[in-house]
Each structure stands twice: as structure tokens, then as C-alpha cells.
Amino acid sequence: MKEKKPLGEYLLEQGLITKEQLEKALEEQKKTGAKLGQILIERGYVKPEDIGKVLEKQSEIPYISLAEVQIDERVAKSFPENLLRRYKFIPIKRESGVLHIAVVPPIDPVVINEIRRIVKSPIRIFIITDKEFNQAISKLFPLEKATLTVVQDFQKTAPEPTVEIPPALGVEEAPIVKLVSSIINEAINRNASDIHLDPQEKEMKVRYRIHGILYDIMTIPKEVQDAVVTRIKVISGMDIAEKRRPQDGRATYRYENRVFDLRVASIGATYGEMVVIRLLDKTKVLIELDRLGMSDYDLKVFENLIKRPFGMILVTGPTGSGKTTTLYSALNVLNKPEVNIITLEDPVEYALPGINQIQIQPRIGIDFAAGLRNILRLDPNIIMVGEIRDTETLNTSIEAALTGHLLLSTFHANDSASAIARLVQMGVEPFLIASSLIGIVAQRLVRTICLSCKEEYTPSPEEIEELGLTKEEGKNITLARGKGCLFCNYTGYTGRTGVFEILRVTKNIRSLINSGASIDEIRNTALKEGMKTLFMNAREKVLNKITTIDEIRRVIAWEES
């Protein structure tokens, strides 16, 4: 019998990935247990079709791209959703009495025989990727229809509400448990970072934040709203009787072979309690510095900054711009046996082996400022403070940087130069800022174009102008965009990458800070010394067909150019 080559070996032979990419993906697979093909797709190394074609060679079963075929929904929906999920197959169509099905490898003969027994007809087998299977299931069995069934079940089991008795009290019935699990599972399948449950006058709206954008997913009938909120409160350890005051909770949630930390926040609103659930994948591997999205030049600058023995490095940007990910990636590089690294976070998002992580607890007096003062007595070499929010934390951070520690933190500012102005506005003497600060990283996250439906086009004169190019420079330029397909949920985008602006505090910049120079003076000097602005780096990503002009408009103000 001919021995089958491993997937990675096939991809290497065909020149679809490099040896280094394979090694990184295999390392991630060891830590997470995820399928190698899925890791390679999520890292942007290959297209789903590339994996499918290799799986075809491995299994000697033809690959079919679900993005390019029309699934007969009448045929597909004649099978229960739980059956399709259990055996991981999608019925595509019936043709001349033969049922065409798409199956996720590896192909198990026992499973295939069981499918034959269930469908009671000849079958023709194709293979698909895991991602395509999940997307097809989501499209065939949307949450709205599942909700209708759950509501009907709930109406049969729930008691009639009476005056002054909260209708959700004591609700642990299977229908609500199933609904909440379905909402969370679907969010995970769609790579959502947050789930929003927003109460309206006549219904509750469910929205997912995917790659920074909020999407309406479904609505929940008003009569089930309280039961859903109560279920979420129960699993996250919150007070189900308190409906007005803000509450925070957390829970560990397992889905397939992944473990998630759920961070839940609730508050009473006009039409009921509003709930937001943050999904943190605990099995997710830290992103290497060279995969954050920095240009080669910026990567070298940043690596040199974090290798400095002392000083303060600030990462700035709005909420959800990837600041914590950048700090974690930096700590991962610095994490050596010979150094003591301590972090102070709110909350601790991911466990970093070999690093001492502390979560702030304001209720017992451990905020960022107090925690930082205590950390300084624990002989640290490197300190990471989750966020500098007030003058006290800023002063203590500067003290740490001036006394031989490397301190990394996040800070809210629009760009690197304006961060310096904000520090001064917080009441710190310019000479202290100039003496302690060694670098500022401003960043944003932009969505990347889906590889499966990427198409090139000739930009309009207006777009060329928006990119800051002359007519001559834009004459032979082509850009890219995603048409929208099953793989990207018809958005044209999959995944995100960072856009960066790194300001080094050089001798000249230090002099400008001490003299009270304006933001423009600091920015212009930094540009002369090699700094690339957010806009300049974003434009490079558009010209390199990584992202689109629409994305740059969304996350970067054009005046920043």
C-alpha cells in the first residue's frame, strides 16, 4: 500500500509554503491541537483551495470548493443539523439517484458506511476543509431558525409569568441553555471577539464583533430576553437578582478542542439588561513579532527598542487596535530565564508561561498605581503595565524607567507625536518624559483581503489622489478587493493585520520635548529621522494588495496623512 505523505510535505514540495512557515505552523499545532491545514489558512500562508487540492491528492477523493458550487438547500436540510455536525458532511445535491456529499477529512470508512445506511441511496464523496464545513452549516442552519425552535420549547416549559415575579427566575431549562450555547458557538465559528446582547423595545438584538466590525446576527423575542440574560449570569457567576447596577463576570467555556475565557459585562438599560461577552481563546498561540504587520524597517526599530535595558515604551491606539497583542508578542521575545518579568493587567487576557502576571483588584486597593509600587519591590527587570490611565500611574512608571527597568504600557492617543503632548498635559515635567521615554508605537488594525475571492482592479483617479499619488505614479497601479465568498461570509475580508507608526525618542526628539516643541515639530523631526506615519504604512498595505482603501478610510483619519 502506498504511504501517504504528510500535508506539510505536500505543500512544501509544491512551493506553496516555506520550511520556516511549516515549522511555525507545526509548533502552533503542538500547543493548540488544531488541524495543520486550518492553522496554515488562518496564518495567511495558503488559500483554502490549496489545502483542498492537497487533501485530494492525499485521500484520492476529489476536492470541491463550496464557494463555487450551489448547494441544494432542500436536499441538505432534509438531514438534521446534529447529524451533519456529528459526521461532518454536507449534502450537496441528488443527481440521477446519487447523493453528492462533501466530507471533512480524514475519511473514516465506518462513518462513510453509516452515512450510506442513513441516506439509503448511493453516494458520491467529495472533500472540503473544516472552515468550509462550518461556513456551510452556518448558512444552512442560521441562528434565527434555531431560536424559533428554542422559543417554542421554552413557551411549552416556562410557567405563566405573574405580577412582581421575574419571568426568568430559576430558568435552567434545556431550551435556554441550548440557545445561549448556540449563540456562543456560532460566535466562535465566525471568529467573533465579542457578543453584544442589546435589548430593544420589542426584541433583543444579538450582534457579533468580527474583525472590529459589529454585525447584526439575529433577534431574540422579548419574552425570552430575561431568561437568556439570566443563563449568561449563572454561568459567569453574576448576581441574577441585580438588574440595574453594572456587573462583571467570567467563565471558562469549552467548544470542540478549544478553551475560551468568557469576560461578561452587564448594565441595566431602558429596555432591559445589556450584556457584552468578550471571547478570549486560551488555546490561541501568541503572534510572533514578524506577523504583527510591521514593515521590515519598523520591525527592526521595535526589536531594538525592546532590547534596551531600561526606559519606557508606550503603545497607543483606540480600544481594540491590538495594543495588548503587541505587548504580549514583545514579552514573548524578552521572556528568558535570566530576567524577571512582571505584568500588571486588567484583566489578564492570556497566560504567559515563565512570566509573573498580576490582575488588578481595585476592591482591595490594588489598582495600577498601587500595584506598580509593589512590583518595584519584587526585583523586576521588565514590567508591563496594562494601561496608564492617570497621573499617579504615569509618575510611578517614569520612576521605574529611570531606575533601571524596562517598562512597557499602553496609552490612549491618536498617534505617536500626540502621545507626547498628552503626557505633558497630564502634568508631568517635560524633562522627566524626555529622560524616561525611549519609544512610542501607534497602531491600528485593518482587515485583510480574503485570499479565496481576491480580485484586482484599476483604481479610479479619486482613489489615486486619496493615496497621495500623482497621476503619473498611479498610471500602472492595480489594487485588490474581495468579491465576497462563503469562506469570508461574503465580506471580502478574512483576518486582520496591524498598521504601525514607531517614533524613536532620539537626541533631537528629546531636545524638542524639553523645549516644549509642538506636535508638528516633533512629528516632522521624527519623519526626517526615518519614521513612517500610520497613513504611509497603511498605503503600502493597499499598494501591496493586503488591504483596501475602504479599510484605510475606516480606521485612519485622512488628515493624519
pLDDT of residue 147: 67
Q: pLDDT tens, 495-527?
A: 999 999 999 999 999 999 999 999 999 999 999
Burial 299-321 (b: 16+ CB within 10 A, else e): bebbeebbeeebbbbbbbbeeeb
Chain-centroid distance, C-alpha 336: 27
Per-residue confidence band for 154, with pLDDT thresholds at 50, 70 and 90: low
**Whole-angstrom distance, CA of residue 505 vs CA of residue 499:** 20
Per-residue confidence band for 363, with pLDDT thresholds at 50, 70 and 90: confident
Residue 515 has what DSSP assignment? T
Give the phi and the psi of residue 370 in degrees, each rounded to 5: -65, -40
Q: Residue 498's closest CA among 455, 551, 560, 440?
A: 551
pLDDT of residue 330: 97
Q: Is 239 or 148 the better-scoring residue by pLDDT? A: 239
Residue with cell 461578561: 264
Give the phi and the psi of residue 113 in degrees, each rounded to 5: -65, -35
pLDDT of residue 164: 35
Per-residue confidence band for 542, with pLDDT thresholds at 50, 70 and 90: very high
* Mean pLDDT, all residues of the chain: 89
Q: pLDDT tens, 265-311?
A: 999 999 999 999 999 988 776 788 999 999 999 999 999 999 999 99
Enter the C-alpha cell of residue 303: 526589536
CB contact at 8 A, 333 and 458? no
Half-sphere exposure of 561 (CA within 13 A, CB side): 17
Helix (H) or strand (E) run with residue 448 in it: strand 437-449
Least confident of 30-44, 345-359, 543-557: 30-44
Show the DSSP H helices in 481-532 as ranges.
507-514, 519-528
pLDDT of residue 55: 82
pLDDT of residue 439: 98
pLDDT of residue 500: 98
Please say if the pLDDT value at position 161 is more than 50. Answer: no
pLDDT of residue 202: 92
Please say if the pLDDT value at position 171 is more than 90. Answer: no
ω before 106 within 30° of 0 (cis)?
A: yes
Find all residues with CB under 8 Å of 462, minimum gap 6, and list them.
Answer: none
Enter the C-alpha cell of residue 17: 509554503
Q: Is 2 or 166 the better-scoring residue by pLDDT? A: 2
pLDDT of residue 149: 65
Q: Residue 287's closest CA among 495, 436, 111?
A: 495
Please say if the pLDDT value at position 159 is more than 60. Answer: no
Please say if the pLDDT value at position 60 is more than 90. Answer: no
Calculate what percentage of the chain has a pLDDT beyond 90. 60
Show the DSSP H helices in 244-322 as ranges.
296-306
pTM over 0.85: no
Residue with cell 525618542: 505
Enter the C-alpha cell of residue 537: 504604512
Calculate what percentage of the chain has a pLDDT beyond 70. 93
Going along the chain from its start, the domains and CATH numbers come out as 7-137 (3.30.300.160), 156-281 (3.30.450.90), 289-446+497-532 (3.40.50.300)
Question: Which of 14-18, 39-43, 290-294, 358-362 is the most confident on average?
Answer: 290-294
CB contact at 8 A, 90 and 137? yes
CB atoms under 10 Å from CB of 404, counted, come to: 11
Q: Percent helix, strand and coil across the chain, each rounded to 5?
A: 40, 25, 35
Please say if the pLDDT value at position 454 is more than 80. Answer: yes
Q: pLDDT tens, 98-109?
A: 999 999 888 888
pLDDT of residue 474: 85
Q: pLDDT tens, 237-268?
A: 999 999 989 999 999 999 877 889 999 999 99
